[in-house]
Amino acid sequence: MKPRCLITGGAGFIGSHLAEELVKRGHKVTILDNLYKGEHSYHQELFQHIPFIKASILEKDVIEELVANHDVVFHLAAILGVKSTMDKSVELIETNIDGTRNILQAAKKYNRKVVFASTSEVYGKATPPFSEDGDRLYGSTDKLRWCYAVCKTLEETLCLGYGLQGLPVTIIRYFNIYGPRAKDGPYAGVIPRFISAALQGKPIQVYGDGTQTRCFTYVSDAVEATIKAMDEGVNSEIINIGSENEISIRDLAALIRTMTNSKSPIIYVPFEKVYPIGFEEIPNRRPDTVKLKQLLSFEPTVSFTEGLTQTIEWFKREL
């Protein structure tokens, strides 16, 4: 029988795609999510065919019962995003750390496999390409921007500690995932912000001078690699999940403007205006994907143009 899967944060962007794909492959799936970011129209369809428990990862009893009744936990629930890191640091630290501890304790008790969603943020300002065993580099603690990275680092370390005690656990580090369902809003990522602005004829706001670079990964590729992290039995491993195609934010703005046939101006906004305190930019971010290829036999397959086309189409329907 296929492993029964619990997805924390399964109502969110990546989690909802993961849930649907696992169901397609014949897994019994349960979503646990407290709808922290509010409800959306896609939730109605999602919850029609996948059992949904509205609860927080901070509710230990609920977690324990659910973990006991599943074989694998994909732990994706978290408070995330650069802006949340600075606006809601206490809530973010307490939720992410305590929530992950609850999941790991329950998984240890019932000997359940955990796939933990970490992030490329853990590398901080290190020099790319970022390899899983490379050094990390953060700014000072008064730069609140780093608190999400510090939390995920501690959560990873906790995972590895439980791994030493025999827990089957795999840590995946996502690099800038994008696609349908990643919404625009005050805490949105750069691709949803740009597409939404471009389609509405509003200025496309590039923060800083736009020379910072990122590697974007389409959500279906991220989901495929996440499922492989369960299937391949690679325990106590950390694996980057991302593409190696780097693009500057300035070029991204121009590309999205062209692809949406938009007349929106591209404007440059100083970081101090967007993030009054506690910000520091990561100039370049690119994964080393050797482990992704070797341990998960995986390489992203969706081209950036195709992924952006799908995402733009979704936004057109949304708007």
Catalytic residue numbers read 148
Closest to 76 in 3D by CA, of 95, 89, 61, 62: 95
Nearer to ligand NAD, 36 or 42 (CB): 36
- What is the number of alpha carbons within 13 Å of residue 70 lying toward its C-beta? 28
Residue 12 engages ligand NAD in binding (rule: CB under 6 A): yes
Q: Omega before 129 cis (within 30°)? A: yes
Q: How many residues bind ligand NAD (CB under 6 A)?
A: 27
Which of the 8 DSSP states describes residue 240? E
* Helix (H), strand (E) counts: the chain: 12, 13
Report the residue number, 103 or 266, with the smaller CB distance to ligand NAD: 103
Residue from 7, 22, 46, 57 binding ligand NAD (CB under 6 A) = 57
Distance CA 130, CA 132 (A): 7
Per CB under 6 A, contacts with ligand NAD among 21-40 are 33-37
* Contact call for residues 218 and 13 (beta carbons, < 8 A): no
Output the smallest distance, CB 291 to ligand NAD, in A.
Answer: 16
Residue 155 interacts with ligand NAD (CB under 6 A): yes or no: no
State which of positions 170-199 bind ligand NAD (CB under 6 A). 174, 176-177
Q: If we measure between CA atoms, which residue out of 191, 171, 175 comes closest to residue 183?
A: 191
Q: Which is nearer to ligand NAD, 14 or 204 (CB)?
A: 14
Site for ligand NAD in 214-253 (CB under 6 A): none
What is the helix (H) or strand (E) element at residue 119, kind and residue range?
strand 113-119
CB of 81 to ligand NAD, least distance (A): 7
Q: Indicate the pairing of strand 52-54 with strand 72-75.
A: unpaired
Q: Smallest distance from the beta carbon of 126 to ligand NAD, in angstroms?
A: 16
Q: Which CB, 27 or 181, lies closer to ligand NAD?
A: 181
Which residues 130-149 are close enough to bind ligand NAD by CB under 6 A? none
- Supply 68's token pair: 């006991």
- CA separation for the pair 64, 67 (Å, rounded): 5
From 53, 58, 97, 259, residue interacting with ligand NAD (rule: CB under 6 A): 58
Which 67-126 positions form the footprint of ligand NAD (CB under 6 A)? 76-80, 95, 99, 117, 119
- Comparing CB distances to ligand NAD, the nearer of 123 and 162 is 123
Please say whether the dihedral angle defined by the alpha carbons of residues 126, 298, 235 and 28, taken in this order, is positive or negative. positive
Q: Do the Cβ atoms of 228 and 298 come closer than 8 Å?
A: yes
Residues of this chain that bind ligand NAD (CB under 6 A): 8-9, 11-15, 33-37, 56-58, 76-80, 95, 99, 117, 119, 174, 176-177
